């Protein structure tokens, strides 16, 4: 597929915050490129002045959004990294058991959902700003603040709890550094996440995020709905 600019008729303007409907806003980032490299051009992220969520405008329409994923990085070949050494295998087993226990990957539970989104209030956005790897337009059309997303879910009748994400800080930090040095999309979105998580120099960061979960790279909300309630 040939990379090309978006035509005006392929885009739509968003004038109100998708989360709180406020029209009060400011430009947060004015020239974010398509880091996935699917199309040419840059994108504008607006910040809602009321709930601080970020959203792209103009953005692709429901009809044209497929263009943004035609060459998405999830289509890339990604070989499983061989696990070598006791510490590396131990880290993998801890992660797998953690995911199974915390997020129910092994045991789906009927009326319980877990939302895992990128966290605009996280330390990575705070530290890297425009080089935050999750400013990924036009794929990430909106990045809600934690309170805004919680309010939306609670208005839908969910009981919401915030959960810990686990040891992902090293990956997020590496991805931001890769954006800052204008590295390839493979190094930003794949190598940063499939590499070893045993860099001693960033263990302090995982420790910090356990102490301040609101600064995690991901926003993890566990939602439960009482299905018997009318
Ligand atoms: Zn808002």
CA neighbours closer than 13 Å in the CB half-sphere of residue 68:
21
Q: Ligand 1 centroid to 55 CA: how many Å?
A: 9
Q: Ligand 1 centroid to 35 CA: how many Å?
A: 25
Please enumerate in sequence order all residues whose Cβ is within 8 A of that of 49, keeping only pairs 6 or more positions apart, or say none: 22, 24, 25, 26
Q: Report pLDDT for 103.
A: 52
Q: Report pLDDT for 67.
A: 86
Domain ranges of the chain: 8-224
Low-confidence ranges of the chain (pLDDT < 50): 1-2, 106-108, 229-230
Give SS3 for 11: strand
Give SS3 for 141: coil
What backbone phi and psi angles, to 5 degrees, belong to 176?
A: -65, -40
Order of all β-strands in the sheet with 218-224? 112-118, 218-224, 159-162
The answer to whether residues 43 and 6 touch, using CB atoms and an 8 Å cutoff, is no
Q: Report pLDDT for 39.
A: 79
Q: Ligand 1 centroid to 141 CA: how many Å?
A: 14
Q: Ligand 1 centroid to 119 CA: how many Å?
A: 15
Q: Ligand 1 centroid to 145 CA: how many Å?
A: 8
Of residues 158, 144, 153, the one with CA closest to residue 112: 158
Q: Report pLDDT for 79.
A: 58
Q: Report pLDDT for 108.
A: 46
Of residues 106, 104, 124, 132, the one with CA closest to residue 116: 104
Q: Ligand 1 centroid to 137 CA: how many Å?
A: 19
Q: Report pLDDT for 202.
A: 74
Q: Ligand 1 centroid to 204 CA: how many Å?
A: 33
Q: Is the pTM of this model over 0.85?
A: no
């Amino acid at each position: 597929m040939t990379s090309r600019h978006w035509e005006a008729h392929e885009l739509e303007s968003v004038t109100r915050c998708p989360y709180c409907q406020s029209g009060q806003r400011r430009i947060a980032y004015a020239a974010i490129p398509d880091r996935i490299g699917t199309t040419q051009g840059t994108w504008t992220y607006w910040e809602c002045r009321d709930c601080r969520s970020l959203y792209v405008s103009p953005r692709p329409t429901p009809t044209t959004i497929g263009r943004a994923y035609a060459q998405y990085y999830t289509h890339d070949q990604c070989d499983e990294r061989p696990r070598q050494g006791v510490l590396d295998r131990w880290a993998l087993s801890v992660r797998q058991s953690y995911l199974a226990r915390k997020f129910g990957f092994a045991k789906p539970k009927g009326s319980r959902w877990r939302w895992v989104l990128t966290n605009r209030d996280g330390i990575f956005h705070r530290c890297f700003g425009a080089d935050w790897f999750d400013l990924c337009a036009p794929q990430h059309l909106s990045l809600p603040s934690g309170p805004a997303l919680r309010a939306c879910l609670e208005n839908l009748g969910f009981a919401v709890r915030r959960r810990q994400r686990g040891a992902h800080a090293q990956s997020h930090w590496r991805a931001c550094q890769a954006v800052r040095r204008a590295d390839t999309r493979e190094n930003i979105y794949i190598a940063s996440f499939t590499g070893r998580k045993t860099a001693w120099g960033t263990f302090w960061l995982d420790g910090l995020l356990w102490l301040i979960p609101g600064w995690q790279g991901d926003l993890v909300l566990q939602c439960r709905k009482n299905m018997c309630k009318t």
